[in-house]
Amino acid sequence: VQMIRLTQRGFNTTSLQVSRQKFNLMDHYNDDFQEVHQTILKKLSSKNGKGLVLLHGKPGTGKTTYIRYLVPLIKKKVIFLPPSMASAITDPDLISILTENPNSVFLVSFDISLILSFE
């Protein structure tokens, strides 16, 4: 996973290691989630695929745990934008990082307080 950082020279990325989670997916999610997981995995693994996967829910419901499980299964570069930088999503310098990394998965984490401020 490449995490986006803002430095004095602008946006750049740094590598983060994500270890494979040791748990059974079906022990932690509803019975119908296996089908959802397969759909997400297929969508994110398709070459040059485009789309949006939105995980939402209350804190502690397993979104981050699922992402940690999912990331090692994806055979693409994953670029992570942390919650503290979510407001920079339209910055042209950030957009250039995305255009320089085609066929990647862009993972954005929003702080719920940021989302509520838009409502």
| Residue pLDDT, tens place only, 7-55 | 898 888 889 887 776 778 888 888 889 999 999 999 898 887 777 888 8
With 50 as the cut, is the pLDDT of residue 105 above it?
Answer: yes
pTM higher than 0.75: yes
How high is the pLDDT of residue 111? 58
Q: Please tell me the distance from the alpha carbon of residue 83 to that of residue 87, in angstroms, as a whole number.
A: 8
Query: Cβ atoms within 10 A of the Cβ of 87, count?
Result: 12
> What residues have CB less than 8 Å from 29, skipping those under 6 apart?
37, 62, 66
Q: pLDDT digits over 42-94, tens only?
A: 989 888 777 788 888 888 888 888 888 888 888 889 999 888 888 888 888 88
